[in-house]
Amino acid sequence: MRFFELNHVALHVADVPASCQFYETILQLDALPRPNFDFPGAWFQLGEVQELHLIGRREEAVTVAGSRSNHYALLVDDMDEWESHLQSHDVEYEPRRFRPDGAQQIFLRDPDGHAIELCTRPASN
């Protein structure tokens, strides 16, 4: 038995249109077709084969989300460019930090408070 890949990340959101605006404009993700479920939501492409699934009608608060708790990480190509992009859209984020292996990290939150890490590969890669 084995796993093939991380297929998708699913996030429960309160306002699907506001979340779509964030993921399309700020994270520049492409929308994907979504099956006709009986609840609101949206799907986005993450990299080559992974997806982000937004599930509407979130009523509970996002209680734990941060750099050392629940979050997901997106490997980026150019941290300087991404940081400039976030600044140009007035997106709040934690200052860039460097892991001991040289990888760079920036943490931000979506409209619901879900923590997202933008990261680079370690310096040796």
pLDDT tens digits for range 112-121: 989 999 999 9
Task: Please name the residues in contact with 49: beta carbons below 8 A apart, sequence gap of 6 or more.
Answer: 5, 7
Q: Where are the beta strands (DSSP E) in 4-122?
A: 8-12, 31-32, 41-46, 50-55, 71-75, 97-98, 104-109, 115-119
Q: What total number of domains does the chain contain?
A: 2
Please tell me whether residues 107 and 87 are part of one structural domain.
yes
Please tell me whether residues 37 and 80 are part of one structural domain.
no
- Write out the residue range of the structural domain in which residue 100 sits: 65-125
Q: What is the mean pLDDT of residues 36-61?
A: 91
Q: Which of 6-10, 48-52, 59-63 has maximum average pLDDT? A: 48-52
Please tell me whether residues 52 and 106 are part of one structural domain.
no
For all residues of the chain together, what is the average pLDDT? 91
Please tell me whether residues 54 and 8 are part of one structural domain.
yes
Please tell me whether residues 75 and 111 are part of one structural domain.
yes
Whether the predicted pLDDT of 5 surpasses 70: yes
- Position 64 scores a pLDDT of 62
* Residue whose entry in the numeric block shows the structure tokens 């989300």: 65
Whole-angstrom distance, CA of residue 30 vs CA of residue 11: 16
Phi, psi of 75 (to 5 degrees): -75, 125
| CATH code for the domain in which residue 124 is found | 3.10.180.10
Please tell me whether residues 25 and 50 are part of one structural domain.
yes
Let me know: does 87 contact 78? Beta carbons within 8 Å: no
Please tell me whether residues 110 and 83 are part of one structural domain.
yes
Please tell me whether residues 71 and 106 are part of one structural domain.
yes
